[in-house]
Structure 1
Amino acid sequence: MPVFRIDRPGTTLRPLTDADQPFLLHLYGTTREAELQATGWTDEQKAQFVRMQFDAQQRAYFAYPDAEFFVIEQDGIPAGRIYLQHRREALLIIDISLVPEQCGSGIGSAVISAVFAQACASGKRVQIHVERFNPAQRLYQRMGFRLVEDKGVYLFLEWDGAARQAATV
């Protein structure tokens, strides 16, 4: 397993464990809150929907070959998750999510920068799919991701810092 050195005090990655499932379910629920507010569903219906969708998402994500699953911690407290797939020519960020109170704090950019460093060390690109309406898209653009393909609801982005770095040497 590669070591991801994160250049931000108190921010670390650790491998996911079964004990993280309640946190991950809560985190997933926060990513769907705005959407669920418009449904008119009861809290119980919302909770059932979130559980069903979370379980389906986890099954899909854990089916990725050559993937690693991390909890992002800030000062020892779970703050998010990052799931990565090691492809031959790229690191795919399968998912990166932070709890709402940590968004905009610099954790996401620090973790992505650590992924960039790992990609550069292995001569790879970094790829990510982002929903068109996701505000994190601005962060990805600022960090140098470029649009590769518009897939309708999702945009497929890529960062190729390793190639840019090699071109300047």
Structure 2
Amino acid sequence: MPAGISLRPAIFGDQPFLETLYRSARPDLQFIDGPPELVETVIAQQYAVHAQGTGEEYPNAMHFIIEKTQTAIGALVVDFGHNEVRVIYVAFILAARGFGYGKAILRGVQQAASTAQCPVAVVVWHNNPGAKRIYLELGFQVEETQLMADRMVWYPGKPQLP
């Protein structure tokens, strides 16, 4: 991983950071037509649904805070299931985007999955072409396309692009 980048388990005290991070990762919610109070309410509700849904669908998922020199810059939620490793959520604050940190974190997930000889799966929204590009660069392939998102999978033993 790049110098100074580390992961640590998320704790309850990280909630304010995670809420702010979610807001920055969902700029589409800022374009809701309505008064600011309505927009704030919808964003808060969407975050609650995101957090609750992740907990219900992936009760054994591991929640991490990504830090650079001990300052929170992102989050990773990953589930090591029976047949695959699933990247559920990865996001960075705006100031930490574009430096290759996400790619480095994902390479770490690939390395762990490779050790277990497990594929890594992720769902990438169509409105996030930058994320899709990164996953393709890391050797993921589109396995399923739906209306709003693609399911992409990386298999261990397949060559990675640099």
Using the size of structure 1 for normalisation, the TM-score is 0.88
Pick from 57, 61, 71: which aligns with 1:67? 61
Contact 2:124–2:132 (CA under 8 A) maintained in structure 1 = yes
Q: Which residue, out of 40, 49, 54, partners 1:56?
A: 49
What pairs with 1:25-104 in structure 2 (closer than 5 Å)? 25-33=19-27, 35-63=28-56, 64-104=58-98
- Distance in 1 (CA, whole Å) between partners of 2:69 and 2:31 is 35
- Say what the alpha-carbon RMSD is for the aligned residues: 1.3
TM-fit CA distance, 1:8: 1.1
**Percent of paired sites with the same residue:** 25
Aligned counterparts of 1:106 and 1:53: Cα–Cα separation in 2: 28
| Paired amino acid for 1:111 | I
Which runs of 5 or more structure 2 residues have no equivalent in the other structure? none
Partners of 2:118 and 2:101 lie apart in 1 by 22
1:102 deviates by: 1.0
Deviation, structure 1 residue 133: 1.4
Shift of 1:65: 3.3
Which segment is superposed worse, 36-45 or 113-122?
Answer: 36-45
Asked if structure 1 preserves the Cα contact closer than 8 Å seen for 2:5 and 2:66, the reply is yes
The answer to whether structure 1 residue 151 and structure 2 residue 146 are counterparts is yes
Are 2:129 and 1:131 aligned? no
Size of the alignment, in residue pairs?
157
CA distance in 2, matches of 1:164, 1:79: 30
Shift of 1:37: 3.8
CA distance in 2, matches of 1:125, 1:39: 37
User: Could you tell me how far apart the structure 2 residues matched to 1:140 and 1:164 are?
Assistant: 14
Deviation of the 1:100 alpha carbon = 1.4
Where has structure 1 moved over 3 Å in runs of 4 or more?
A: none
